[in-house]
A and B are shown apart, each in its own frame.
Chain A
Amino acid sequence: MDTLSGLLQGFDVALSGTNLAMCIVGVLLGTVIGVLPGLGPPATIAMLLPLTMRLEPTGAMIMLAGIYYGAKYGGSTTSILLNVPGESASVVTCLDGYQMARKGRAGAALGISAIASFIAGTLGVVGLMLIAPPLAQLSLAFSAPEYFALMVIGLAMVVLLSGESLTKGLLAMLVGLWIATMGTDLFSATSRFTFGQTALLGGIDFIVVAIGIFAIGEVLANMEPQEPAGMLPVPKGLKNLLPTWQDMKDCRFAFVNGSLVGFIVGILPGAGSTIASFLSYGIEKAVSKHPEKFGTGAIEGVAAPEGANNAETAGSLVPLLTLGIPGSGTTAILLAALVLWGFKPGPLFISDTPALFWGLVASMYIGNVMLLILNLPLVAVFAQLLKIPAYAMYPLILGMALVGVYSDSSSMFKLGLLALFGALGYAMRKLHYPAAPLVLGLVLGDAMERALRQSLMMSQGDISILFRPIPAGLLLVAAVLLIVPLFKKFNAMRVQVLDQKA
């Protein structure tokens, strides 16, 4: 195919002075809003929409896309340094990223997340460029039963995320699933668990729960006088901050895993980058030779999800550009922008406007390089944040968390929820309940329930629809995920018994 000539044409478009400037502005803005908790790409792009109406469409599209993928680079920063997820897709980065920072490896964590983002982001664009049309067909082949099975795999990962006690992990997950049911039910338009509160009709925002449990919970736990709270160690010099060659080798699989999982989940309308990052983290842990290190600062645990949420961006552009189907809030705004500029997004979009498509693809290659160059030196700057003493650090985290939640919604009710989930996070910490399964249940619960009910509506209540080939295969994977650790446990017990007999 004439991919090469298209790409050359694209670089011609993307390297023009204005478009290059647009790309820089986009990725810079994206990084900044990624770093700020609460403010995400959909809100930012929506706010900029009026402004872009005065710009030339190709340049404007390049800028908006830059914000979209740039934000994924910035999202990990506060997750790693402060345990405050900057973006919902960076929640899972808190698990190992923050632990790495506590061990003085914040620089390596920040560095690897930039590198993983770059690799996966670039591979994602390659995928978008080469195989978008056939992949678009894949997104259509996936229907409710397939989504359901995918979500079951996600939930089975609770086994991997629960730490020492599976029971406690499952309990936390159930609370997450329960929170996910709150709000207005899509199917019957009736409200569930809203306790008569108008503010709860919209359900509980995932990011409020995540920031509450991770950030506020962390601050509360650290306020107890345990040991003299010293400053976190920060090695000197950029060279010592960046990931070592060994780190890069450890992350080889994580780069591939993140790119693939992120891109594939991105193609599926309605799945989203948060699910992509959780799935790739779970897969990384499942295949790891040292799964016990996950949650205590494993570098792969940062690389995989950060890669996944970047590849997801490119993936989500596939149905948008090839079919005219937006799979998320951000792509819906991009679609609207295209219509406003006078384009006709739909199956003929690429053949109608090749210059825009190829210009966008080329700009994404350029943008990813820019982001890498931008982010690596910033590692040194951000790492210095950890030198802040505890008495200033914890108020800073609290402030970031409060501002993040409030700026998104200007709702006092949500600040109340934040406090509530902060207290819950603290209690869970004291009682040794893992937080990740709760968050996982909340992320997946809604989508899984929906997929199950859609499946059963399609089959008129016949459950066998869940066992057609693709979902059956996926469910089998989930079953293996659940059963293998039980065998390991059984084996360990057997060995113990044998030892006692001997």
Chain B
Amino acid sequence: MTYAQKMVRAVAVSTALMCVSGNVHAQWKPTKTVDMIVHTGPGGGSDLLARVIATMMEKEKLLPVRMQVLNRAGGNGAVAAAAIAERKDDPHTIGLVTSVWIAGPLTSSEAKVTLHDLKPVAGLLMDPAVFAVRADSPYKTLREFIEAAKAQPGQLKQSGGSVTSRDNIIRQSLQAATGARWAFVSFPGGGERVAALLGGHVDIMVIEPQEAGEQVRAGKMRVLAQLSDRPLPGYPGVPTLKEAGYDVKATPQIRAVVAPPGVSNEVVAYWEDLFAKLRATPSWKKYVEDNQLEDHFTNSAELSKMIKQIEDELRTQYQAAGIKVVR
């Protein structure tokens, strides 16, 4: 997309937002503490983002009431999704979701509530990621790594999350596209994945750009490629997957807001508008920049479409990777 096209789109989106906010002007407002439900325990990615959002809401005086974070950890979002569904019709509850909430129900029949059962409110961010190796690794480019993996099938290793995580899906896609084969070792925490790479126990990993940036600055890591379609400002000269010569799709990792089923359109519009305002604040812009995230605001209708699209993509990718899909 060219710059001009981007500008046109940005103007269109903001005009649309203005219309939305104009329509619902001062109709519904929260009157008591708002609960924001997240699917990780204290210290997890969503938990921390939710607390940052709550802090900004207060600092920028966007919300007339307090916002508190409730942790409903477990089952890749299933426990949190059930907790939100249980609060049917409650306008004072929202949930902060990620692509994990889409992936979880696809592979777990116990996850009875899916994102389709909840009301999409607004998309906030995309999590970009990069492929990184140790600084003393022999692989200078992604191609070199993949060629080495081809030459010695299964010998090279990648640290990551569960098999349904983006880390593994991108590995599966690259393997399918190139015929190379390398092992995938699951670790529950991001810290352990980094420790495994720095300690020389694995050869490559998918890591968040901000985290990788500090390791690169200290001369401990080298970044081979970025998983986002749009190049990250913090990584000039690092090729995207396509630029590196691999036309595989990295399913986007979204961070978005949902509401319980049954809440009125008025309430959804209020939240949509509130997060649009949040996104325009300097605090939010600084946070996005500091953490090298990708600002990606979508309204309720767009988010709904996006969830469906990601779900379809994931289903195809899981089936291709031989992961059992239950719905």
Contact = CB atoms under 8 A, between A and B. Distances in A.
Interface in A482-496: none
A269 B189 contact: yes
A339 interface: yes
Given A46-B69, A324-B214, A329-B43, A187 B163 contact: yes
- Which of the listed residues A270, A328, A342 has the most CB atoms from chain B within 10 Å of its own CB? A270
B138 interface: no
A203 interface: yes
B110 interface: yes
Interface in A312-352: 319, 323-333, 336, 339-340, 342, 344-349
Interface in A172-209: 183-184, 186-191, 194, 196-203
A363 to B, nearest CB: 22
Contacts, number: 189
A194 B290 contact: no
The bracket for how many chain B residues form the interface is: 35 or more
Contact of A326 (B74, B164, B189): B189
A238 interface: no
A201 B41 contact: no
B280 interface: no
Contacts of B240: none
A269 B192 contact: yes
A119 B211 CA distance: 35
Contact of A194 (B104, B110, B220): B110
B115 interface: no
Contacts of A330: 42-43
Interface stretch (A383-391, A420-428, A453-461): A453-461
Nearest to A330: B43
A142 B201 CA distance: 9
A457 B183 contact: yes
B6 interface: no
Nearest to B59: A53
Nearest to B113: A198
B10 interface: no
Contacts of B78: 198, 201
A366 to B, nearest CB: 26
Interface in B198-236: 198-202, 210-211, 213-215, 217-218, 220
Contacts of B291: 339
Contact of B185 (A47, A194, A454): A454
Interface string B118-131: 00000000000000
A201 B215 contact: no
B323 A454 contact: no
A186 B189 CA distance: 11
Contacts of B195: 139-140, 269, 319, 323, 325
A42 B163 contact: no
Q: Which of A42, A197, A328 has the most CB of B within 10 A?
A: A42
B111 interface: yes
Nearest to B189: A270
Give the 8 A-B CB pairs with smallest separation, nearest first. A202-B74, A201-B75, A346-B214, A347-B218, A140-B199, A332-B43, A46-B42, A329-B43
15 contacts: A42-B42, A46-B51, A183-B75, A184-B74, A189-B76, A190-B107, A190-B324, A198-B110, A201-B79, A336-B48, A340-B52, A340-B287, A346-B213, A450-B188, A458-B183
Interface of B: 41-44, 47-48, 51-52, 54-55, 58-59, 69-71, 73-76, 78-79, 82, 103-104, 107-113, 154-155, 157, 161-164, 183-192, 194-196, 198-202, 210-211, 213-215, 217-218, 220, 287, 290-291, 323-324
Interface of A: 42-43, 45-47, 49-50, 53, 139-144, 183-184, 186-191, 194, 196-203, 269-270, 319, 323-333, 336, 339-340, 342, 344-349, 410, 450, 453-454, 457-458, 460
